[in-house]
Structure formats: C-alpha cells, structure tokens
Chain A
Amino acid sequence: MSRLEKIGDWFERRLQIGGVVREAMTHPIPRKSASWWYVFGSAALTLFILQVFTGIMLALIYIPSAAEAWNSLQYLNHDVTLGWFLRAVHGWGSNFMVAVVLIHLCQVFLFGAYKFPRELTWIIGVFLLLMTLGMAFTGQVLRFDQDAYWGLGIGASITSRVPFIGAYAVHMLLGGPIIAGATLSRFFALHVFLIPGLLIALVSLHLLLVLKLGINEWPMPGRVVRRATYVKEYEELTHKDGVPFVPAAIWKDMFFSAAIVVSVMVCAWYFGPFGPTGYPDPTIVQTIPKPDFFFLWLYAMLALLPPEMETAALLIGPVVVIGLLILLPFVSGEGEKSWRKRPVAVVTLLLIAVALGTFTKLATYSPWSPVMNGWSGDPVPVEFLNGRSPLERQGALVFQVKQCRNCHEIGGSGGKRGPDLDRVATRLTHDQLVRQVIQGGGNMPAYGKNLNPAEVTALVSFLETLRPANQPPARDASQAVLTQEEQGHLPANGR
C-alpha cells in the first residue's frame, strides 16, 4: 500500500463517503444520453463556480458604499494588477451563465425532460433561472454607475405600481426614501449572501434529484411516458443498455465546460470589463440609462406596451409566466417526449425566442426615444437647402432649433420616434402639415404654443419641399373638386 493510499484510507475510515461517491460517478445512464446535448447543465454549474470564485476575488477590493463603489471599480480597473481582467471574467461569466442556463432550459423543454418523474427537478430549475436573472440584475446594481442608479429608479417605479402597498414596497426596495447608500448595501447583501446561498442550496437539490431519478433518456418518437410504467422502462434502459456516467459521458461535460471557461476568458481579455459608465451623481441629467444585454427585451417592452395595460402587464405578467413554467410538468407530465411529436412546444419556443430577440434588437437602438442631441448633432443636409427660397430655409432653421429632429429623421439622421420626413410632402398637404404642427396628435406634442405664426409658416413651407423631384405633392381631392367648381368646370350639382 502506497503512502498516498494509506492517507486516503485514513480519511475513508472516518468519512465513509467513498462508496457514495463511486456510486454517484458510475451510476448507469442510457447509452444515448451520453450526448453533446446533455452538457449545458454541467456548464452552468461550472460557470456558477467561476462566478463564486471571481466574485470573492472582487470582494477583496470592492467597497459596497454609494460614495465609494464607483471609485473602487475604477481602482480595480486601472490600479489593481489584473483587476480589470477579474472584473471582465466576472462580467462575461455572468452573461455566459444567463445564456447557458437559458439554453439548458430550452434543451430540457424540447427533450421533455420535465415530465414524470422529474417535475420537481424542473420546478427547482425554474427557480434557479429566476435566481440567475436575479444575480445578473443585482450585479448590474453593484456596478454602481449611472445605468445602475437609474435602473434602480426604474425598479422602484415598477414596484410603485403595486396596488395598496406600493409606497411601502418602494421604501423596502430602496431601504429608505431615495436611491442612496442603503439601497446599494441591500443589493450587495442580496448579490453576495442571500441569492448565492439559495443558489448553492437549490443547485445541490437539483443535482441530487438528477442522481436519484437518473438523467433523462434520449427522447424517441413513439416512446410515450406513462406514470405507471415509466420507472420500470427507465430501469431497463439504464441497466440493459446503460453505460456508467464516468467515463462514458463525463468527458463531454468536461470538454464543454473547459471550452466555456476559455470562451469567457477570451471575451474578457478581448472586450474587457463592463463599465462602470458615468459617475452615479443624480444631478448629471445628461445620461441615457440602459440595462445590460439580458434585460434589453424588458426595456423594449416597457417602451412599447400601451400605457393603459402597462401596470397590469408588469405586475401580472411575471406571475403568469412563472406560474405557467411551474405548472408545465403537471399539465403535460406524461406523453411524448420527442420534439418531433410536439409541434406546439416547438412553435411556442420559437415564438418566444423570436419575440425576445426582436425586442432585444429594437432595444439596441431604441427607436421610441427622442435622440437628445438630434437637433444639435447634425446640420440639415445641403440637398434639402439647395435652391430653396429664404422662407423655406428659415423653415429649415425652425425645424432644427425647435428640436423636431430629436424625433424625426431627415436625410438619414435624427430620432426615430416619429416618422422620417424625407418624403413628408408626398403624404401630407399644406393644411394637414399646419394642423399637425400646431395641434400635434398621433403621439406628437402640439407645438401651437411654442411656434409663432411666422415660424409655423416658415416650417410648413420647408416641410412642403420634402419630397423627391419625381413624386407629386400630397393632394386634397376635395379641394381639387372645389377649385374646379369655382372655375366653372363642373356643374354645382355634379359633386
């Protein structure tokens, strides 16, 4: 017996866990489950361990105080040896973790792995997803910059919409009357103690359930789950045609985990850490707050929901979504597992993915927001001024100075909140332009009080020039009839 074996023996006589570990490692799994499709759960665990490790590293320097947090991040970025890299790994690790957890969820959903007897594994997984998102959000708050500060304001504003207890809930969220030191401290406690503690506990349960119930078998069309027969069928599958987890499957998990960790490091090295953006001084109002990537879809939805259904959607939406996820294994706990036989499941997943992807894409350029420097950023393009009358040019000046361009594109630059105006004269007549400018409407403010008649005249005459040379201006058909009538071309009763 070698010295090493003796030491191992000494521990084993006291701990007596060798048998349990060996059993866990060599537990039989269905042959086809030793697949590259089954690596996402272990990759999520690897990323979680990476996050815990890098998080502890960052906590050595980070100061969870509203007065100092931002400075301590700058110190980490610029003064601590490789501090920037650890911040970058933690930030990219977070993005990768959310992505991998989402992919894991989709895979489990498509492979029907949530069905009997793995309902509880799925439900715990739903909470693990929520906590992963919770970690991403609270982590964004700890990066105490302008985005974090105003992000908290958005959080408080959403909370305030809760009926009856809204005000209390806001004060509980903020830890006081305003976003300040106490707010950051409580998000620090959430991010560093509470949620990670729960995550460790629930991840352990999740893994225990995977070991107890066995990994999901590869779904075969026609192999239907029945509560009465499933356990027996699974036993047959694992014992007659099974392979031990180690070494049949674990090498794929290990390869993929290593690839993910390397990817995180490459991204961290190449792209660097996230922020912090501007200093969290609320009196700096020249800021355009935006959430991190995985919350962009929400940012877009908040802009696009009709105001009258916004509160209901914000408060009831999450309850419905989480409720549906939890109910899923009870509603369809039996039946087909294969995605080939579950068209509704596939279409649902695709629809959700397309919707979230679209919202995220929209949020990257937020067409619903006025461009704050649209009016002062770019001049009116020369082609819109060439050969125009002095009045029309005066109108171009009004157009620029009155910030029309914050919401309206012209010549390809400006806001996207309102329609682009390059061809507005082909759509609206003189009268319609005047009316729109003075009264607003269709989500445009009324400018009647802020433009004098001379400015309106100039502005409208400029807008009337905005059409391609080969397209006629918009025409009011009834006016044409009236004019012809006045000129005696039509009999008065011929309308």
Chain B
Amino acid sequence: MSDQEKNEISRRDMFTKIGIVLNGLAVAVLAVPVVGYLISPILGGDRGQYKRWITLGELDEFPEGQTRLAKFRNPISRVGDGETDDTPCWVRRIQGEQFQVFAINCAHLGCPVRWFAQSGLFMCPCHGGVYYQDGSRASGPPPRGLFEYQYKVEGGKLLIEAGQLPTLSTTASLHEGKTGCQG
C-alpha cells in the first residue's frame, strides 16, 4: 500500500466523520423545535397562563346555606374539545358573600364527588372518599380535603379563578383557597 493510498483512506475516513457530525448537527438543530413543540403543554405552565377569572353566575343562583352544582366553560378552549371544556364545581354559599367553591375532583384520584345535602357529605363513587360540607376529609383514602377555587364577588356575580385540572401537584386556582380545611 503506497503512501498515497493511505492518505486516500484517511481522507474518506475524515469525510465520513464530517458526514456523521453534519447529520448530528442537523438532528440537534431539528430537535430544538421538536422538543419545544412536545413540551408546549408545560410551557403554558402552572404559573398562571392557564387560569382566568370566570363568572359562575348571579349571587341569587346560590341560596345561603346550600351547596349547589355550578358549571363553567374552561377559559382555555381548543378545536375539538367538545363538551370536555364544560367543568362542574360545587358552590357552597355559607352566608352573605362568604363562599366555598370546590373542584368536582376527589383529592384522591380525581373522580367526580357528589353532594348529599341530607347528610351534608360529599361522597366519591370510585374508592370511597368522603368529605364534610366544608370540604375537609371525613373518611376514605383522600390525603387531604377537596380542592378549592379562589373566588370573588363583583357586581352581584360570583367569579372563580380556574383553568386547570386540580391534582395533588396542580392547584385549582393560582393560590389555594384560604377558607376551609386543607386536610
């Protein structure tokens, strides 16, 4: 093998390596938009963008001393969401402008809790979680009380801050409700 041939091979080797590096670069550059696209749900973030103040209804729709089911349309809505944007919640009007607005989702695993006015309890149909009327845990597996939305009363209307599914790590409102037992 002559020196020239050796050079020839090492040159091809080098080009091969450059080829690999070029493709690696192309993939790395492509990865930026792809990753950005993929993680867009978390860039929307837990830091407020998902949450807005929404009107739940007139004050007189919620009689004092009662807990009623209310519905609102999720503030962030996309093509093809259908009825999944309609979100239920339990509104307890303690008295006057003093409210508690509970998320429908059980603090255990998110199933829809139902209100039983006669016994003053919320019961969950999935794994047996039970809560008192103020949302505090009564029995069963939930690790805390019901999730609460922040509320305010403006112009005779009840507003809540909402926009994301409440779980143990995602809050119902930007700040946890101040009233009620946090379990």
Q: Which residues of A line the B interface, CB within 8 A?
A: 65-68, 149-150, 153-154, 156-162, 166-168, 170-172, 174-185, 279-283, 285-289, 299, 302-303, 305, 307, 310-311, 368-370, 372, 375, 401-404, 406, 417, 440, 443-447, 449-450
Contacts and interface: CB of A to CB of B under 8 A. Distances in A.
Interface in B108-129: 108-114, 116, 118-121, 123-128
Secondary structure at chain A's binding surface: helix, strand, loop or mixed? loop
Secondary structure at chain B's binding surface: helix, strand, loop or mixed? loop
B141 to A, nearest CB: 5
A160 B169 contact: yes
A443 B137 CA distance: 11
Interface of B: 39, 41-42, 44-46, 50, 69, 71, 74, 76-88, 104-105, 108-114, 116, 118-121, 123-128, 130, 132, 138-143, 163-165, 167-170
A178 B80 contact: no
Contacts of B42: 167-168, 171-172
Contact of B120 (A150, A288, A449): A449
B39 to A, nearest CB: 7
Contacts of A150: 110-112, 126
B123 A406 contact: yes
B127 A179 contact: no
Contact of A153 (B69, B81, B83, B111): B111
Contacts of A66: 80-84
Contacts of B170: 160, 166-167, 170-171, 177
A157 B114 CA distance: 18
Given A167-B169, A172-B39, A445-B132, A181 B164 contact: no
A67 B80 contact: yes
Contact of B41 (A172, A279, A303): A172
A450 B77 CA distance: 40
Contact of A280 (B84, B112, B165): B84
A401 B111 contact: no
Nearest to B86: A283
B112 A161 contact: no
10 contacts: A150-B126, A160-B169, A167-B169, A179-B165, A280-B83, A282-B88, A283-B69, A283-B71, A303-B128, A401-B118
Contact of B46 (A159, A171, A178): A171
A180 B81 contact: yes
Which has the most chain B C-beta neighbours within 10 Å: A67, A166, A176, A450?
A176
Contacts of B77: 180
B95 to A, nearest CB: 16
Contacts of B41: 171-172, 174-176, 182
A157 B83 contact: no
Given A150-B110, A160-B170, A445-B132, A282 B125 contact: no
Given A289-B111, A443-B139, A450 B169 contact: no
Contacts of B114: 285-286, 372
A178 B165 contact: yes
B74 A177 contact: yes
B37 to A, nearest CB: 11
B7 to A, nearest CB: 38
The 6 A-B pairs with the shortest beta carbon distances in the complex, nearest first, are A67-B82, A166-B169, A160-B167, A153-B110, A177-B164, A445-B138
Contacts of A172: 39, 41-42
Contacts of B109: 153-154, 157-158, 302
A282 B83 contact: yes
B87 A161 contact: no
Contacts of B119: 402-404, 447, 450
Which has the most chain A C-beta neighbours within 10 Å: B77, B116, B142, B163?
B116
A181 B108 contact: no
Which has the most chain B C-beta neighbours within 10 Å: A369, A375, A401, A402?
A369
Given A161-B168, A167-B170, A177-B74, A417 B120 contact: no
A445 B121 CA distance: 9
Contacts of A166: 167-170
B125 A288 contact: yes
B69 A285 contact: yes
B164 A178 contact: yes
